[in-house]
Amino acid sequence: MDKVSTIILASSLIIIMLGMGLSLVIDDFKRILVYPKAILVGLTNQLIILPLIGFSIALLFPLKPEIAIGIMILAACPGGPTSNLITHLAKGDLALSVSLTALSSFITILTIPFIINFALIQFLDEGQVVKLNIAETIIQIFAIIVIPISIGMIIRRYKEGFALKMAKPVRKASGFIMALIIIGIVIKEKENLIPYFRQAGLVALILNVATMLVGYYSARLFKIIDKRAVSISIESGIQNGTLAITIAVVLLGNSEFAITPAIYSLLMFFTGGVAIYFGIKRSKTENSNN
| Residue 12: predicted pLDDT | 73
Per-residue burial over 183-221, b = 16 or more CB atoms within 10 Å of its CB, e = otherwise: ebbbebbeeebeebbebbbebbbbbbebbbebbbebbee
Q: Report, as an integer, the average pLDDT of 153-181.
A: 76
Residue 279 clears pLDDT 60, i.e. is over it: yes
Structural domain boundaries of the chain? 3-282
Task: State the average pLDDT over residues 40-52.
Answer: 93
Predicted confidence (pLDDT) per residue in 63-77, tens digit:
888 899 999 999 998
C-alpha–C-alpha distance, residues 31 and 15, integer Å:
25
Q: What is the predicted pLDDT for the residue at 41?
A: 93
Q: What SS3 class is residue 93?
A: coil
For residues 151-177, give the mean pLDDT.
Answer: 78
Residue 106 is predicted with a pLDDT of 83
pLDDT tens digits, one per residue of 174-197:
667 666 766 766 676 667 667 777
- pLDDT tens for 249-278 read 888 888 888 888 888 887 887 888 888 888
Residues in CB range of 246: below 8 A, 6 or more apart: 9, 10, 13, 144
**Torsion, Cα of 282, 283, 286, 288 (10° steps):** -110
Instruction: Assign 56 a pLDDT band (cuts: 50, 70, 90).
Output: very high
Asked whether residue 50 carries a pLDDT value surpassing 60, the answer given is: yes
pLDDT of 3 reads 61
Task: Name the CATH topology of 3-282.
Answer: Na+/H+ antiporter like fold (1.20.1530)
**Where in 64-192 does DSSP place strands (E)?**
none
Residue 51 banded pLDDT, cuts 50, 70, 90: very high
Q: What's the mean pLDDT in 6-26?
A: 74
Check residue 145 and give its pLDDT: 75
CA–CA dist 198, 22 (Å, integer): 38
Residues 6+ apart with CB under 8 A from 230: 87, 90, 91, 92, 93, 216, 275, 279, 282
Angle between the N-to-C axes of helices 134-158 and 3-22, in degrees from 0 to 180, rounded to the nearest 10: 40
Dist CA 23 CA 161 (whole Å): 11
Q: What rounded mean pLDDT belongs to the chain?
A: 81
Q: What is the pLDDT of residue 71?
A: 94
Yes or no: say if 67 and 196 are a contact pair by the CB < 8 Å rule.
yes
Return the number of other C-beta atoms located less than 10 Å from residue 119's C-beta. Answer: 24
Least confident span in 28-37, 118-127, 228-237: 28-37
Would the pTM of this model clear 0.75, i.e. be above it? yes
| pLDDT at residue 135, as a whole number | 76
Per-residue model confidence as pLDDT tens digits over 129-157: 556 667 777 787 777 777 888 888 888 88
Question: What was the pLDDT predicted at 129?
Answer: 54
> What percentage of residues in the chain have a pLDDT greater than 70?
84
